[in-house]
Structure 1
Amino acid sequence: MRIDVWSDIVCPFCHLGRRHLELALGQFEHADDIEVTWHSYELDRNAPAVGSENVIDQVARKYGAARDQMIAQHQQMASAAADVGLDFQWERLIPSNSYDAHRLLHAAREAGVEESVAGAIMRGWYTEGAAIGDPAELRRLAAVGGLDSETIERVLTSDDYGIDVRTDEAVAAQIGITGVPTFVLDQKFAVTGAHPTSVLLEAIEHAWADQGNRPDLPEAGGCGGGCCGGGGCGDPAETAAGDSDAVGGAGCGSGCGGGGCTADGICGEHQPADAR
């Protein structure tokens, strides 16, 4: 069975979601038969290569939120990360454009070192305070992950693999993804947000048991359904109607429930639809 995941390196919830997926698959008896494919997603294509202010101030200013509220939110994320063995150093985060990092990950996949390069770049931003929009930092991190220097230089001095990034983003838009992380299970069920390991495991087991059944096509274009339940939520209309316990069809809206980051760059625990 196939699991497609859309995520952005500069989304804290994507790091947590990646870890939760790893833990869920560790508990799934058919994990050897699961193929996970990671897809690029940029929360802010127009972000400068390296931002000039810290993430807390940037988010608080951009969305008119209280700085103390943003600090508390990031402290909660750090606590959740520590619970699953991650080290989220939110005070060291440097706002960065992730386009070049995504291109390097596509090159790393082709070279057979995607997992190690992704780990190095993600730790760099999430834990070490690296500015991953800085080519020098990307060179260092990609090399740490095992990508050869010739490939690194070729990617960073060209637009190689840019088409792969844009294709991933076009597919995300086509199936209605507006928040990350988003996990699409067996090309028909979607889970958006950094839900607990138990929720992801339940969704994977549901998709595995449902293999061979195809969802009904929507009457209009796009994909219907919402996101995974277990406390999560998907399409606001469905959530308001009390459908939050269902695993939705592929194609969903903003991350919620377990927290996520939306296409406008907002990261956080999203409110229920009726509270918006």
Structure 2
Amino acid sequence: MKIDIWSDYICPFCTVGERHLALALEKFAGADDVEITWRSFQLDPSAPTEPTEKAPEYLARSKGMSLAEVKQMNSGLAERAAAVGLDFQWRDSVVANTFDAHRVGHLARAAGKGNEWDTVVKHGYFTEGANVADHGELTEFAAQVGLDADRVQEVLASDEYATDVVQEITMGRQLGVQGVPFFVFDGRFAVSGAQPVELFEQALAQASESSGEQ
């Protein structure tokens, strides 16, 4: 079974939803045969590479919400994250452009380390308050997953994989992706958002049954 996941590194719902999928896979008999591919998506392509504000202030400004509303929403997300073993330090998060992180993500995917890269970058962002647009931070993340530092710096100094990132974002929009996370099971079934573990269990079962019928 193949699962394509459109996701962005600064999306808290992505982190929670992906964790719910992981928990569902722990109960899925065919988990060893599941291949996950991360697909690029940007929530805000205009976000700066040098952050100028914390995530709560950014959300209040961009979504037309009050700071109190943003804090209440993020506190609820943090509770959901904690319930599945995630540490969401939302007060420390900064909004930064994720395009270069997605480019290195393609390099990691080519090296067979796409899953590890996604986990490390999201942990850095949500738990450690890292600027995921900073090339130094990205190089450190790459070292954690075993990517060659010189190769990573070569990619970051160029526009390598830029076309791949744009193509995946375009592909997602053609499929109707307007927000993330967005999960596609075997190219047939889609799940949008940070759905409960039980829904992912149902999607896995449905995709498995459908595959067996062919």
Give the structure-2-normalised TM-score.
Answer: 0.95
Once residues 13 and 27 of structure 2 are traced to their aligned partners in structure 1, the CA distance between those partners, rounded to angstroms, is 21
Amino acid at match of 1:105: G
Within 2, Cα distance between the matches of 1:112 and 1:148? 13
Alignment of 1:229-268 (within 5 A): none
**Which residue of the partner structure matches residue 118 of structure 2?**
118
Rounded to whole Å, the distance in 2 between the matches of 1:75 and 1:60 is 14
Match of 1:72 in 2: 72
Q: Indicate conservation of the 8 Å contact 1:94/1:130, yes or no.
A: yes
**Separation in 2, partners of 1:111, 1:212:** 30
The answer to whether the aligner puts 1:201 opposite 2:201 as a matched pair is yes
The one-letter amino acid paired with 2:60 is A
- 1:213 CA displacement: 6.5
SS of the residue aligned with 1:211? helix
Give the match's secondary structure for 1:70: helix
2:22 maps to 22
Q: Stretches of 4+ moved more than 4 A in 1?
A: none
Which SS does the other structure have where 1:36 is aligned? strand
Corresponding letter in the other structure for 1:96:
A
Distance 1:33 1:111 in 2: 19
Q: 1:168-207 counterparts in 2 under 5 A?
A: 168-207=168-207
Task: Give the conservation status (yes or no) of the 8 Å contact 2:37–2:114.
Answer: no
Q: How does 1:1-276 map to 2 (within 5 A)?
A: 1-211=1-211
Any gaps of 5 or more consecutive residues in structure 2? none
Percent identity over the alignment is: 42
Deviations 1:188-207 (A, max 9, x none): 11100001111111111112
Kept in 2: contact 1:185–1:207 (CA 8 A): yes
1:143-173 per-position Cα deviation (integer Å, ceiling 9, x unaligned): 1222111111111100111111111111101
Residue pair 2:38, 2:114 contacting (<8 A) in 1 also = no
TM-score, normalization by structure 1: 0.75
The alignment's C-alpha RMSD in Å is 1.4
* 1:31-57 Cα deviation digits (max 9, x unpaired): 122211110101111111132111111
Matches of 1:164 and 1:193 in 2, distance apart? 24
Greater Rg over alpha carbons, structure: 1
Say how many residue pairs are matched.
Answer: 214
| CA contact 1:8–1:14 (8 Å) conserved in 2 | yes
Q: CA–CA distance in 1 between the matches of 2:190 and 2:149?
A: 37
Greater helix proportion: 2
